[in-house]
Amino acid sequence: MRKIILPSILSADFCRMGEEVAMLEKSGADMIHCDVMDGTFVGPITFGAQMVKGVRKATSLPLDVHLMIVHPETQIERFAKAGADFITVHYEAYHADPSTEKEKICSVLKNIKDFGIKCGLVINPATPVEVLKPYLSLVDLILVMSVVPGYGGQKFIPSSLEKVKALVKWREEQSLSFAIEIDGGVTEENASVIREAGVDMIVAGSAVFKASDRARAIRILRGEA
């Protein structure tokens, strides 16, 4: 199946965001990945729903909103109204209290779906993929972080691909249909091994924004050049 390429606007020029997003659409991006960071769940602060609203106006491509924030359930409505098409929340945002983890994750996923938006769960590199098992039938998407979240331009963690392979296997065994997304450290050099592992959606920040020909970079990541 054709791979979905999602440039991350974390690597964009924030003063020219409208032009940057229009350029990504012209260059053949399939979706736009929006990295929301709160300075607590991860160190840096990026942007909130106001930026997503602006990006929504600048493109007709679907918007994939990656919430690296604590208490994501308090923000779903804002991002839904801003125009998100996909919203992903971190498993780790709920893991601190195992007695409420499952109830809270099920509730936030339902909340996202009730807005007519596709929902997903994200795991950090240090989190074992097995923790996702109870939620696989509830999500449209699983996002496997292949770097520690917080910054663009980090090195890909190869063991992430073992998680992808486990997810591919479980999806088939249980006849499920969630998509598998990877985020962090994707380059033109490692894209083929990532595609071969069974990833459906590939996020790329620096690999797209640092390329002199962004359209070509997107084709290479997709395996078309």
Q: Which chain residues interact with ligand DX5 by CB under 6 A?
A: 8, 10-11, 33, 35, 66, 147, 149-150, 152-154, 183-186, 203-207
205 binds, among Zn ion, ligand DX5, none (CB under 5 to 8 A by kind): ligand DX5
* Residue 180 φ/ψ, nearest 5 degrees: -115, 125
183 is an active site residue: yes
185 binds, among ligand DX5, Zn ion, none (CB under 5 to 8 A by kind): ligand DX5
CA distances from 102 to 71, 82, 105 (A): 14, 27, 5
Beta carbon nearer to ligand DX5, 132 or 204: 204
| Signed CA dihedral, 122, 209, 152, 193: sign only | positive
Q: Rounded distance, CA 160 to CA 183, Å?
A: 10
* Residue 30 binds Zn ion (CB under 5 A): no
Least distance in angstroms from the C-beta of 103 to ligand DX5:
26
Residue nearest Zn ion (C-beta atom)? 66
Q: Rounded distance, CA 206 to CA 216, Å?
A: 14
Beta carbon nearer to Zn ion, 63 or 134: 63
Beta carbon nearer to ligand DX5, 12 or 105: 12
* Residue 38 binds Zn ion (CB under 5 A): no
Number of C-beta neighbours around residue 62 at 10 A: 15
How many residues sit in the footprint of Zn ion (CB under 5 A)?
3
Return the beta strands (E) in 44-163 as ranges. 63-68, 86-90, 118-123, 141-145
147 binds, among Zn ion, ligand DX5, none (CB under 5 to 8 A by kind): ligand DX5
* Residue 35 binds Zn ion (CB under 5 A): yes
Mention every residue, 6+ apart, whose C-beta is less than 8 A from residue 135: 105, 106, 109, 121
Please, are residues 63 and 56 in contact by the beta-carbon 8 Å criterion?
A: yes
The H or E element spanning position 82 is: helix 76-82
Beta carbon nearer to Zn ion, 30 or 183: 183
Return the beta strands (E) in 12-129 as ranges. 32-37, 63-68, 86-90, 118-123
Instruction: Round to the nearest angstrom and report the end-to-end CA distance of the chain.
Output: 16
Q: Which of 38, 140, 183, 200 does the annotation list as catalytic?
A: 183
206 binds, among Zn ion, ligand DX5, none (CB under 5 to 8 A by kind): ligand DX5
* Pattern 158-187, Zn ion, x by CB under 5 A: -------------------------x----
Which residues contact Zn ion (rule: CB under 5 A)?
35, 66, 183
Which amino acids are annotated catalytic?
Answer: 35, 183
